[in-house]
Amino acid sequence: MALIYYITQVQLDFGAIALLPQECEKAGIRRPLVVTDQGVRAAGVLDKALAALVGMQHAVFDQTPSNPTEAGVRAAVEIYTREACDGLIAVGGGSSIDLAKGVAIAATHPGPLKTYATIEGGSPKITDKVAPLIAVPTTAGTGSEVARGAIVIVDDGRKLGFHSWSLVPKTAICDPELTLGLPPLLTAATGMDAIAHCLETFMAPALNPPADGIALDGLERGWAHIERATTDGSDRDARLAMMCASMQGAMAFQKGLGCVHSLSHSLGGVDPRLHHGTLNAVFLPAVIRFNAPAESMQRERRLQRIAHAMGLAGCGANGNEVAEAIKQKNERLGLPGGLTAMGVKAEMFERIIDGAMADHCHKTGPRLATRDDYREMLEASM
């Protein structure tokens, strides 16, 4: 049976950050902890959010690491508890939003965070007691502002997913103006993250027609505008299109993802310095080639529909044209040409494969990968 759920309230427009006080009031948040990172603070984006909170008591945690960790969650929970906060505002990219979701769990539920990880059977243990969260994305990539999940590196080094409808932010404030100053390389990496979400969720075989439609529209917007947004960070139309693509990818991936994310989640745990969106961009070509023969891909003409959304003429059904177009797009965006350029070595493969096989995305793609399949995808992505 298909479960279809769309999803939360979204305020989408330039200047939407000004709505933050009224959204706090609707969510019953009177003393929020603002979760962010040093980059968002240094760019002056945090100041815009705090300016909207003038007159409201709040605390700030600005030490979110590039990949959120359980240690970071604990540090933020300490401030949340000490300052008697009653809700959260995440201002930043996926790392800040996901860390805030970890705080929402840990501040209101007992035990270590891994207790609530999806692969540990923890999803049903996450209750509606979680702290209310408002998400303000400052990148156009992860889409965590409209998603039920979070990815956190727990104390034992695993990069785990946490999923519950209770974790969906009460409101997503999507203000493209907050992304205007994003550096080109980060624009490209987060933008390819959004495109990967749209592509991989559309390839997933689960029945969810609204997700398919949203994913294809998001792919078309993202593919057409990512180079403009990267080349000219002040292009407001391109920034709006990328924020839409990011939001749409996450609205759609309730349907499931696949090997791209199994690999990038695992490798991100092996080497937390690596950027998730960049990894997704690098893995996409090999995974598309792996998925192409799947019965659902062929029966439902998924490769042809993807090619149409990407504006590729005469694309066949073997996936090579789509995969090559993505490789060329990565090159034009200035992203790494492969894992070798990112410092990944073959001796890391077995650890990466171990994590991929255990990842919550492993079983939701159109083909179930074996260890040998994952090894071949890693080799093809080097």
Helix or strand (DSSP H, E) at 150: strand 149-153
- How far apart CA 292 and CA 366 sit, in angstroms, is 9
Nearest to 89 by CA among 24, 162, 18: 24
Compute the 3-state secondary structure of the chain and give helix, strand, coil in percent, each to the nearest 5. 55, 10, 35
Could you tell me the end-to-end alpha-carbon distance of the chain, in angstroms, rounded to an integer? 39
Does 364 or 315 have the greater pLDDT score? 364
- How far apart CA 373 and CA 355 sit, in angstroms, is 14
**Span 70-81, pLDDT tens digits:** 999 999 999 999
Residue 106 confidence (pLDDT): 96
Q: How confident is the model at residue 340 (pLDDT cuts 50, 70, 90)?
A: very high
Give the global pTM: 0.90
How crowded is residue 192: how many other Cβ atoms within 10 Å of its Cβ?
28
- How far apart CA 379 and CA 11 sit, in angstroms, is 42
Residue 77 confidence (pLDDT): 97
Place of tokens 């990968």: 369
Statement: residue 4 has pLDDT above 80: no
Nearest to 136 by CA among 201, 224, 47: 47
Tell me the angle at which helices 302-309 and 320-333 cross, rounded to the nearest 10 degrees.
30
Statement: residue 8 has pLDDT above 90: no
**Span 198-251, pLDDT tens digits:** 999 999 999 999 999 999 999 999 999 999 999 998 999 999 999 999 999 999
In the predicted model, what is the mean pLDDT of residues 173-190? 92
In the predicted model, what is the mean pLDDT of residues 102-116? 95
Q: What angle do CA 243, 273, 364 make, to 5 degrees?
A: 60
Domains of the chain listed by start with CATH number: 9-178 (3.40.50.1970), 182-381 (1.20.1090.10)
3-state class of 164 per DSSP? Answer: coil
Residue 314 confidence (pLDDT): 65
Residue 5 confidence (pLDDT): 65
Nearest to 301 by CA among 366, 252, 249: 366
Statement: residue 2 has pLDDT above 70: no
**Span 262-288, pLDDT tens digits:** 999 999 989 988 999 999 999 999 999
Q: Is 185 exposed, middle or buried (0-12, 13-18, 19+ CB in 10 A)?
A: middle
Share of the chain above pLDDT 90, in %: 83
